[in-house]
Amino acid sequence: MTSNSEFELIAPEASSVVESMRSIGYNLETALSDIIDNSISAQAAEIKINFHWDNNNSYIRIEDNGIGMSKMELTQAMKIGSKNPLAQRESKDLGRFGMGLKTAAFSQCRRLTVKSRRYSGCSNTRCWDLDTIRKTGKWTLLTNTKDEKSSVNLSEFSYKSAGTIVLLERLDRVISLPYSSRKYNAFLSKIDKVEKHLRMVFHRYLSGPNSINIIINNHPIEAWDPYLLKQDATQELLEEPFQDEDQVVKVAAYILPHHSKVSEEVYKNAEGPKGWNGQQGFYIYRNKRLLVAGSWLGLFKKEEPYKLARVMVDITSNSDFNWQIDIKKSVARPPNKILQELKRIGNLARQASYRVFYHRGTKIIGSGSNTIKESHLWEQVYRHGKSFYKLNKSHPLLLKLIEDTSVDERILYTYLSLVEENLPINLVPYQPSKENNVEVNKKKIINDDEKARVLRGLSDFIYTMRQLNYTEEDILFKLRNSEPYKHYPELIDARLDE
C-alpha cells in the first residue's frame, strides 16, 4: 500500500476477492456457457467438453480449435478484469467484462488451468489455484500446475494447429463433500442439464451456415429449435426492426403449432428445459447467443393459453449497457422505449397463441406488413370420423373486430363457438336414432382430446354467462339444454364444481 497526503492505494485481499467471486450466481450449465463464449469468440469451429468422474479427482476439460493465445495474451486473459467493459468490442465478441472465464470457473472449482497455443507455436500454461492464493495471500498465477494428475488431464491437444484447453479441477461446487461413489448419478444428471442448456443457448450457432460443433463426452449435441421453424403449422406473425439509439433491435414473433398438428416426439422436444409454460415469452439474443430464454419481462404473467407464443429479440454487443446485461449473461432489461414496443408485440403474440391453443388456428403466411392471412370463412374438421364445420378464427375481418371492439375477447369466442356447434349441418351427428326412439348420443363415450375440447368450451361458456350476471341455476339450465354440452352431463357438473 502506498499513500501521500491526497490519496491511498489499497490492494484488495486476493483470497477474499476470489472467494467472493465464487458466489456471483452461476450454476454448472451457465458457467460452462460462459467458457464456451470465449471459444466462439476465438473463432472455434469445434468445442469438446469432457466430464471425467473419479471422486475427488474428477475434472471437466473444455478444448477448442480456435486461434489460441500467445504467452502474453494468455497471461492477460487470466487477469481478473482482463478487458475494460467500456472498451469497444468487436461485433462478434461474446464477452464484455473480462471476468467470464475466471468467475465461471471459480464458481465450480478450486483450480483453473488454461493451456493454449497459436498456429505452429509453442503451448503455454497458466493456472489459478485458490488454495495457493489463500496460502500466499497474493495474486499468485502459476506458470505450471505442478501436479502430475493435472498434467495428464491436460495431455496433448486434439487439434494439430492452434487451440485452447480449459481444465477445471477440485470440483467442490459440482461434487459436494464428502466425495463418494454415490454422487456419480448426481454427476450424470448435471451433465444432462448441461447438454440441454447448451443446445438451447447456442442453438443458432449449432445450426445453419457456418455452424459449429459442440461435443460432450464424444457425443455431438444438436440444436434445440425454440420456434419449430421446420413445422408447417408454425406461424410467423411478424418481423420488425426498431431503433435503439444507434443500434437496431430486430423482433420476430412465432406461434408454435397446436399439439394436434405435430408428432408427440416433436411436441415433447419443443417444451425445452423449462417446460411449455416456462419457455413462453421473449427470447433475447446478443450476437446470436441466447441470454434470456422465455420471459415476459414483467409485462405479462405466464399462463397456459399463451405457452405457444415465443418472440425472438436480437441485439448487438453495443447494446449491453442500454439493456443492462449482467456478468453471467443471463439477465437483460430493455430500455423503456423498446419495452413499450415489446409489450405491443407480446400482446399480439399472446392473442394469437390463445386462438391456436383453444381453436387450433390456421397457418399465417408471410411477415411484417405483407402478412397474408387465410380469408375463408369456414374450416372443415373431423371428429370420430364425422365431418364438422368451424369458423376460421384467423379471418382478417374477425381479427379487426377483436382489435377494435371493447368486448371481452373470451365472450366473443364463446358466442362464435355456440354458432359453430348449432350450425344445422353440425347438428346432424347429434340427431336421435330412429331405432327404438333412443338418442344414441345421450351418453357419449369420448376420448381425451374430445373431453379436453368440451371442457374448454364449458369453461368459456360458464365464464361468459357469469360476466353477463346469470345465476348459477340459469347457467346450469342453459348448459343442460344447449348443444353440444347437454350430451355431457357429468362434465357439466365437474366443471361447475371447479
Q: Looking at residue 430, what is its pLDDT?
A: 41
Between CA 357 and CA 367 the distance in angstroms is 21
> Which grid cell sits at 231?
413445422
Q: For residue 458, report the phi and psi dihedrals to the nearest 5 degrees.
A: -60, -45
Q: Taking the alpha carbons of 92, 94, 96, 99 in that order, is the dihedral positive or negative?
A: negative
Which helix (H) or strand (E) segment holds residue 239: the answer is strand 235-244
pLDDT value, residue 367: 40
Instruction: Name the strands in the sheet holding 111-117, side by side, starting at the edge strand that comes first in the sequence.
Output: 141-142, 124-129, 111-117, 163-169, 59-64, 46-52, 213-216, 219-220
Contact in structure between 286 and 298 (CB atoms under 8 Å): no
Q: Determine the pLDDT at residue 145.
A: 73
- What per-residue confidence (pLDDT) applies to 424? 57
With contact defined as beta carbons under 8 Å apart, do 293 and 201 qualify?
A: yes
The answer to whether 94 and 289 are in contact (CB under 8 A) is: yes
Are the C-beta atoms of 153 and 59 separated by less than 8 Å?
Answer: yes
At the topology level, CATH places domain 14-220 in Heat Shock Protein 90 (3.30.565)
pLDDT in tens, the chain (498 residues): 555 678 888 888 888 988 888 888 899 999 999 999 999 999 999 999 999 999 889 999 999 999 999 999 999 999 887 554 444 546 555 544 457 789 999 999 999 999 999 987 789 999 999 999 999 999 999 998 767 777 777 878 888 889 999 999 999 999 977 767 678 889 999 999 999 999 999 999 999 889 999 999 999 999 999 999 999 889 988 788 887 777 788 999 999 998 888 899 999 999 999 999 999 999 999 989 999 999 999 999 999 999 999 999 998 877 777 777 766 666 778 888 888 889 999 999 999 999 888 765 444 433 443 333 445 566 655 554 455 667 776 766 677 777 766 767 777 777 777 777 666 555 544 433 333 333 334 445 566 667 777 777 778 778 777 777 778 887 887 777 776 777 777 787 777 666
8 Å CB contact between 193 and 277: no
Q: 43 vs 81, 167, 265, 314, CA distance in Å?
A: 22, 19, 34, 21
Confidence (pLDDT) at 441: 40
Please state, in angstroms and as integers, the Cα–Cα distance from residue 92 to each residue in 41, 89, 95, 314, following that order: 7, 8, 9, 13
Within 71-183, residue ranges assigned H as helices are: 71-77, 100-106, 130-136, 148-154
Q: For 451-456, which contacts have Cβ atoms below 8 Å and span 24 or more sequence positions?
A: 451/491, 454/484, 454/485, 454/488, 454/491, 455/491, 455/495, 456/358
Q: What is the pLDDT of residue 272?
A: 93
Which residues of the chain are in CATH 3.30.565.10 domains?
14-220
Which residues are within 8 A (CB) of 265 and not within 5 positions of it... i.e. 6 or more apart?
Answer: none
Say yes or no: domain 235-369 is CATH 3.40.50.
Answer: no
Q: How far apart are CA 131 and CA 455, in angstroms?
A: 62
pLDDT for 14 = 87
Is the bond leading into 220 cis (omega within 30 degrees of zero)? Answer: no
Predicted confidence at residue 446, as pLDDT, reads: 61
- Residues of the chain within CATH 3.30.230 domain(s) are 235-369
Q: Residue 130's pLDDT is what?
A: 95
Give the pLDDT confidence score for residue 382 in this predicted structure.
52
